[in-house]
A and B are shown apart, each in its own frame.
Chain A
Amino acid sequence: MTKLVQNEMLKLVRKKKLVVIALIIGVLVSLFTYAQFKIVERTVERLGEVDWRTTLQQQIIDTQNRLTSSRISDEWRSQLQLRIQQQQYYLDKDINPMEPGAPTFMRMFAENSINLFIPLMVMVVAADLVSSERSAGTVKLLLTRPVKRWKILMSKYISLVLSVSFIVAMFGILSYLISGIVFGYGGWKAPVITGFTVEGGELNTAGVHLIPQWQYLFMVFGLVWFVALVVGTLTFMLSVLMRSTAAGMGVMLAALIAGAILNNMVASWESAKYLFMINLKITDYLAGNTPPIEGMTLGFSLAVLAAWGLAALAVSFSVFTRQDVY
Chain B
Amino acid sequence: MSEITLAVRGLRKVIGKKEIIKGIDFELKRGEVFGFLGPNGAGKTTTIRMLVSLIKPTSGSIEICGYDVETHFIQAMSQLGCIVENPELYPYLTGWENLEHFARMLPEIDIQHMKDVVKLVRLQERIHDPVKTYSLGMRQRLGIAQALLGKPKVMILDEPTNGLDPAGIREMRSFIRYLAEEEGLSVLVSSHLLSEIQLMCDRVAIISRGEVIKVDTVDSLLSLQERLIWRVGPMEKAKSILEQWTPVTEGADGTLITIYDEEQAAGWNRSLVEQGIAVKEMQRKLPALEDLFLELTGGETVD
What residues of A have a CB within 8 angstroms of the CB of B75 in the complex?
146
The smallest C-beta distance from A196 to any residue of chain B, in angstroms, reads 50
On whether the beta carbons of B92 and A325 are closer than 8 Å, the reply is no
What is the CA–CA distance of A11 and B91 in the complex, to the nearest angstrom? 11
Q: How far is the CB of B92 from chain A (nearest CB, A)?
A: 5
- Find A145's partner among B89, B90, B92, B105 (CB 8 Å cutoff): B105
Choice from B56, B80, B92, B93 contacting A144 with Cβ under 8 Å: B80
A15 within 8 A of B: yes
Contact A138 B104 (CB under 8 A): no
Using A146-B73, A147-B105, A148-B74 as known contacts, say yes or no to A137 and B92 having CB atoms under 8 A apart.
Answer: no
Q: Using Cβ atoms and an 8 Å threshold, which residues of chain A touch B101?
A: 7, 10-11
**Residue pair A324, B73 in contact (C-beta under 8 Å):** no
Chain A residues within 8 Å of B78, by CB? 146
Given known pairs A3-B104, A11-B90, A326-B49, the reply for A140 and B54 (CB within 8 Å) is: yes
B-side contacts of A136, CB under 8 Å: 88, 90
Does any Cβ of A come within 8 Å of B261's Cβ?
no
Cα A137 to Cα B88 with chains together (Å): 6
Judge whether A144 and B82 touch: CB under 8 Å. yes
Residue from B76, B86, B93, B107 in contact with A137 in the complex, judged by beta carbons closer than 8 Å: B86
With both chains docked as a complex, state the minimum distance between the C-beta of B57 and any C-beta of chain A, in angstroms.
10
Between A136, A138, A140, the greatest number of chain B beta carbons within 10 A of the residue's beta carbon is seen for A140
Contact between A324 and B77, CB atoms less than 8 A apart: no
- The secondary structure that dominates the B interface is loop
Q: Is B102 located at the chain interface by the 8 A CB criterion? A: yes
Known A-B contacts A7-B101, A14-B92, A138-B90; the reply to A143 vs B55 at CB < 8 A is no
Question: Which chain B residues numbered 243 to 302 have a C-beta less than 8 Å away from chain A?
Answer: none
With the chains together, A3 CA to B103 CA distance in Å? 10
Interface residues as binary, B65-76 with A (CB distance below 8 Å gives 1, 0 otherwise): 000000001111
Known A-B contacts A143-B54, A144-B77; the reply to A138 vs B89 at CB < 8 A is: yes
A143: chain B residues within 8 A (beta carbon): 53-54
Bound-state Cα–Cα, A146 to B131, Å: 24
Contact A145:B73 (CB < 8 A) given known A324-B55, A325-B54, A326-B49: no
Residues of B within 8 A of A146 (CB): 73-78, 105-107, 150
Contact between chains at A140 and B88 (CB < 8 Å):
yes
B-facing residues in A100-158 (Cβ within 8 Å): 136-138, 140-148
* B56/A324 in contact, CB under 8 A: yes
Chain B residues closer than 8 Å to A140, beta-carbon distance: 52, 54, 84-85, 88
Q: From the candidates B53, B55, B80, name the one contacting A326 in the complex (CB within 8 A).
A: B55
A136 (CB) vs chain B CBs: closest residue:
B88
Residue of A6, A10, A324 touching B54 (CB-CB under 8 A): A324
A-B contacts besides A138-B89, A326-B54, 13 pairs, CB < 8 Å: A4-B105, A10-B93, A136-B90, A141-B89, A141-B102, A142-B105, A144-B54, A144-B84, A145-B77, A146-B150, A148-B74, A322-B56, A326-B55
- Top 3 A-B pairs, shortest CB-CB distance: A137-B88, A146-B77, A3-B104
